[in-house]
Chains A and B, each alone.
Chain A
């Protein structure tokens, strides 16, 4: 099962390496990892997407906690949370396809960030599932290049 884990860490050099190295050393699956400074510059927040059965995910959480530079480890999977990913994608553009492409960009609530004679670069934001669908749909128009940010996630606020 897929799990999305939020990890609050010390904002120090080497922290990302410690976390990533732990995953590879213990053979855990690491689907995506993203990191950025938080509202307090002493801390960074990592969002990790991993897969595994309950026993493995429980080990992942414990091993993350065991690292000295991790402050708080939260499995967001079963809690109310918001999850987003950014997709940047360059597509081939031609007279015959441009109309359909523009319509699809609207459907996915994407934005055009760059356009040339024969190519168009778009951004789409959404859940990783939506990003997967976006990529699938656009594939037939010819994807030149794409980059995904990996998921970032956060607890839903208190009501």
Chain B
């Protein structure tokens, strides 16, 4: 590693900086503005470059890697279309607070603003979807900018940061100096919680008869699962989680209520409705969680811990805000808890009644296949230990209901943006980061086609990802809303006539491919897929067409409006 003080060109400085940030993988695609970088990369052996097939794929892979490992994902793309193709992936990472640094090539600085070939104002385009972004105008600022980019992406509330690098800056030389410290005047996140607020919270918790933890992805990004488990079990407090929070608390623990919100469990939502204290940690009261805000947790005193002060009082007015890191909050809370607390046995018994009244259940038939069964079976065969990625839609919600997540960093899914096409590249990225646990993808037939090109990447790098395609020949979630709320007008959601033969598609990419059409075949295919580690394996599950996800709180509705089953049962196709 060349020491600071050597003369290097911009491209060499770029790689020197990535080394110092301990970057393992770059997900990238070359192009005109990046020729110098790829020239230097030719001889770089310690940082692995993964060649994707579309820049959007690179961003989702980087995010999958980031969520699976906790380390920032790195993307490298060229100017113009290369850069604009990253927009969805960057927005996705922004909405889900994933640490990511995106490097874009740019036309030479002398040409910026001239509508040059492959020029796009990517800094302007990505301003509202990045935590921050930079245009490097001078090679002497390159190292300090990269240092700042990684610092911003990973500190405070994580998020994507973009660095735009004009071609002439990458060619120019200067003395390389690595800044050992970072000083950004306008960025001082509150990590440590205010002690008085924590003590007030501790008193409230001890005195609560019906407390409930509402846990979001912030607990996972803060690596605070251990503290949560200790506090919840010590205080005997039930835990419900958001989609991104699943795995923060073991799903097979008796205190786990599963997910809350639109497709959350009946008992979790009833508990939110009835609790006298709601302790929100690293969650942001998203509309898919709260439904109608006026009727959300009306009985409860609400404590809200979040590292981002803008999340406090944004959607729901809270009683006790505690700004700071979730790990610090839970640690100091553990220390501040009084010895005695209220008896929660009656509260837990009340919840258990709701659970018995309306459990998660599906019926299995011998000759037809249900998504719930596939997910349930994968959960069984992997003992809830897999890293599970999903695409967006019905299969995603069923995954939240039927996969029993036991560990943090186990679910990788597009929550905020709801990006179809996210799953396959995210799974590949996760599999680069995690090699000691199986990486499983549940994906619908609609979303699979949106980034199907990345199957090449998986095959080429022999990524042992298990691609479980849930094929109901429909855009299932949209179809569900059409049936429930739009007079059964299945407008452009039936893909049955136009879908390709997916097994043949997978095989054409060079991927091992299987198919299952009933529970017995599915069980066998899952076993076979989980045992196959020489590269990706693809299984098409042909599931019933008209299944719906329940329970469901209609958008903007209250918990009391929850639909527990189809109102007019129809025969399954």
Contacts and interface: CB of A to CB of B under 8 A. Distances in A.
Q: Do A and B bind each other?
A: yes
A141 to B, nearest CB: 43
A21 interface: yes
B317 A55 contact: yes
Which bucket holds chain A's interface residue count? Answer: 20 to 34
B339 interface: no
Interface stretch (A10-18, A29-37, A120-128, A143-151): A10-18
Interface stretch (A62-70, A87-95, A104-112, A131-139): A62-70
A68 B186 contact: yes
A55 B314 CA distance: 8
Contacts of B317: 55
A70 B313 contact: no
Contacts of A18: 127
A154 interface: no
Interface in B131-190: 131-132, 135, 152, 184-187
A55 B152 CA distance: 28
Contact of A22 (B128, B135, B152, B186): B128
Contacts of B360: none
A66 B127 contact: no
Interface residues on B, range: 10 to 19
Given A59-B314, A67-B186, A69-B186, A14 B128 contact: no
Interface string B488-503: 0000000000000000
Given A68-B131, A68-B132, A68-B184, A63 B123 contact: no
A62 B310 contact: yes
A17 B313 contact: no
A56 B561 CA distance: 29
A68 B159 CA distance: 12
A38 to B, nearest CB: 14
Given A14-B123, A17-B124, A71 B313 contact: no
Interface in A5-47: 9-10, 14, 17-18, 21-22, 25
A105 B313 CA distance: 48
Interface string A75-107: 000000000000000000000000000000000
Contacts of B309: 62, 65-66
A71 B184 CA distance: 9
B336 to A, nearest CB: 26
B376 interface: no
Nearest to A68: B132
Q: Which of B123, B184, B310 counts the most chain A CB atoms within 10 A?
A: B310
A17 B127 contact: yes
B308 interface: yes
B313 A21 contact: no
A58 B187 CA distance: 19
B184 A66 contact: no
B186 A10 contact: yes
B52 to A, nearest CB: 28
Interface string B533-552: 00000000000000000000
Nearest to B131: A68
Given A14-B135, A58-B313, A62-B310, 8 more contacts: A10-B185, A14-B127, A21-B127, A55-B313, A59-B310, A59-B313, A66-B309, A68-B186
29 contacts: A9-B186, A10-B185, A14-B124, A14-B135, A17-B127, A18-B127, A21-B128, A22-B128, A25-B128, A55-B317, A58-B313, A59-B310, A59-B314, A62-B309, A62-B310, A62-B312, A63-B310, A65-B309, A66-B308, A66-B309, A66-B310, A67-B186, A68-B131, A68-B132, A68-B152, A68-B184, A68-B186, A69-B132, A71-B185
When A and B form their complex, which 7 residue pairs have the shortest distance between CB atoms, in order from nearest? A68-B132, A62-B310, A62-B309, A68-B186, A25-B128, A71-B186, A68-B187
